[in-house]
């Protein structure tokens, strides 16, 4: 079996590529190595994949000509590549091109893969809006360019099931953390500030935000569980996350406890579109995918701290 993983040099994509290789898949990773965050971190991720026998090719999904270097014999496509988050440095055009146009081009490529069993789109709880507590059957209310363009991309993918052109599904991920988390994300930035005794910029009011912080390996359990369930999952949207709830303040306290240090914080203005409350409703994931995330926030943060220590401290 052969799988294509987009965004393979990124945080979650790299974990998925590794898991598929462990499952004896022939895996090809692609990434455009965007400078959105540290190219060094992406290079490290790509190196680990190469060492595991997973080639990572430079492909920009916005450029149809880049697909020419790829074979068309893939059984599965896992689409992680995206313009992430709600960074003020990203324009609407960045989100439009990287999330919607890129997905359209990937769909066009997927339609040339005659053996394709399933196209799995990786989506986000940001689709639900400021209070992400809804089921998959309730109307989304995205409140950011990120959420709006990811919803549009999701519908573009699912339209191919409706047209009976290929089997598709979309997985909405909730607040993923763990080793290789992007450097601007909460826990990687927080851990770095703890190790190097720097001030942590805390968005105003965010200590009280509630999150379904979900460990990356629990997320990957859900992602790969679609394999072999093509008929069951075809055309479906499924939430993946944990039902455990923690405030950002509680997460900060756990990191301080594990590092045995008090991290200095400085208040910065709140971000527009930032979610106030997320709680993953995973009844559907349990029913269709037998999904059961089990890693506690403290257990997961221990692993993320050890990764950070080995990569950036030792």
Calculate mean pLDDT across residues 145-152: 96
Residues with catalytic roles: 146
Q: Which residues pair with 202 in a beta bridge?
A: 267
Task: With respect to residue 91, please indicate whether it lies within any of the assigned structural domains.
Answer: yes
Q: Which residue has the higher pLDDT, 36 or 99?
A: 99
Lookup result for tokens 């598929």:
20
Q: Is the pLDDT of residue 137 over 90?
A: yes
Mean pLDDT for all residues in the chain: 95
User: Containing H/E element for 72?
Assistant: none
Q: Is the pLDDT of residue 205 over 90?
A: no
Q: Is the pLDDT of residue 175 over 80?
A: yes
Q: Is the pLDDT of residue 135 over 90?
A: yes
Concatenated DSSP letters for 117-174? -EEEEEEEGGGG-SEE---TTSPP---SHHHHHHHHHHHHHHHHHHTTSS-EEEEEE-
User: How many CB atoms are closer than 10 A to CB 76?
Assistant: 23
Task: With respect to residue 186, please indicate whether it lies within any of the assigned structural domains.
Answer: no
Do 253 and 202 touch, CB atoms closer than 8 A? no
Task: With respect to residue 274, please indicate whether it lies within any of the assigned structural domains.
Answer: no
Residue 52 domain boundaries: 2-173+216-241+280-293
Task: With respect to residue 188, please indicate whether it lies within any of the assigned structural domains.
Answer: no
Calculate mean pLDDT across residues 33-43: 88
Lookup result for tokens 């360019």:
145
Q: Is the pLDDT of residue 274 over 70?
A: no
Calculate mean pLDDT across residues 66-84: 97
**The pLDDT value given to residue 276:** 73
Query: Domain total for the chain?
Result: 1
Instruction: Tell me the C-alpha distance between 154 and 174, whole Å.
Output: 16
**The pLDDT value given to residue 131:** 86
The region of weakest confidence among 50-54, 132-136, 217-221 is 132-136
For β-strands 210-211 and 246-247, DSSP reports them as antiparallel
> If pLDDT is split at 50, 70 and 90, which confidence band does 293 have?
very high
CATH number at residue 47: 3.40.50.720
Instruction: Tell me the C-alpha distance between 304 and 313, whole Å.
Output: 13
Q: Is the pLDDT of residue 279 over 90?
A: no
**The pLDDT value given to residue 88:** 67
Calculate mean pLDDT across residues 20-48: 93
**The pLDDT value given to residue 272:** 62
Measure the CA angle with vertex 230, ends 226 and 231; round to 5°: 135
pTM of the model: 0.96
**The pLDDT value given to residue 278:** 87
Task: With respect to residue 307, please indicate whether it lies within any of the assigned structural domains.
Answer: no
Task: With respect to residue 124, please indicate whether it lies within any of the assigned structural domains.
Answer: yes
Calculate mean pLDDT across residues 83-102: 89
Lookup result for tokens 């992007």:
182
Task: With respect to residue 148, please indicate whether it lies within any of the assigned structural domains.
Answer: yes
> If pLDDT is split at 50, 70 and 90, which confidence band does 90 have?
confident
**The pLDDT value given to residue 273:** 61
Calculate mean pLDDT across residues 213-232: 98
Task: With respect to residue 84, please indicate whether it lies within any of the assigned structural domains.
Answer: yes
Q: Is 57 exposed, middle or buried (0-12, 13-18, 19+ CB in 10 A)?
A: middle
274-284 as b/e: b if 16+ CB within 10 A: bbebbbbbbeb
């Amino acid at each position: 079996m052969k799988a294509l993983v987009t965004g393979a040099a990124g945080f979650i994509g790299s974990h998925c590529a590794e898991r598929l290789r462990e499952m004896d898949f022939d895996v090809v990773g692609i990434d455009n190595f965007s400078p959105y965050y540290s190219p060094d971190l992406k290079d490290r991720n790509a190196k680990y994949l190469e060492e595991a026998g997973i080639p990572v090719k430079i492909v920009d999904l916005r450029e149809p000509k880049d697909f020419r270097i790829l074979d068309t014999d893939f059984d599965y496509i896992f689409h992680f590549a995206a313009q992430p988050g709600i960074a003020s440095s990203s324009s609407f055009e960045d989100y439009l091109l990287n999330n919607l146009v890129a997905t359209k081009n990937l769909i066009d490529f997927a339609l040339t893969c005659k053996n394709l069993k399933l196209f799995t789109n990786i989506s986000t709880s940001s689709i639900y809006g400021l209070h992400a507590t809804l089921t998959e059957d309730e109307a989304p209310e995205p409140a950011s360019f990120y959420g709006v363009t990811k919803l549009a991309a999701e519908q573009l993918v699912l339209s191919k099931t409706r047209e009976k052109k290929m089997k598709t599904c979309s997985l909405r991920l909730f607040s993923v953390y763990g080793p290789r988390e992007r450097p601007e994300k909460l826990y990687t930035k927080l851990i770095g500030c703890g190790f190097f005794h720097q001030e942590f910029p805390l968005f105003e009011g965010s200590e009280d935000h509630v999150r379904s912080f979900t460990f990356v390996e629990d997320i990957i359990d859900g992602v790969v569980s679609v394999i072999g369930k093509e008929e069951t999952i075809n055309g479906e949207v499924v939430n993946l996350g944990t039902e455990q709830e923690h405030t950002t303040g509680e997460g900060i306290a756990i990191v301080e406890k594990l590092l045995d240090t008090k991290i200095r914080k400085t208040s910065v203005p709140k971000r527009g579109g930032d979610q106030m409350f997320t709680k993953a409703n995973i009844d559907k994931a349990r029913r269709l995918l037998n999904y059961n995330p089990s890693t506690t926030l403290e257990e997961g943060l221990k692993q993320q701290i050890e990764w950070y220590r080995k990569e950036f401290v030792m």
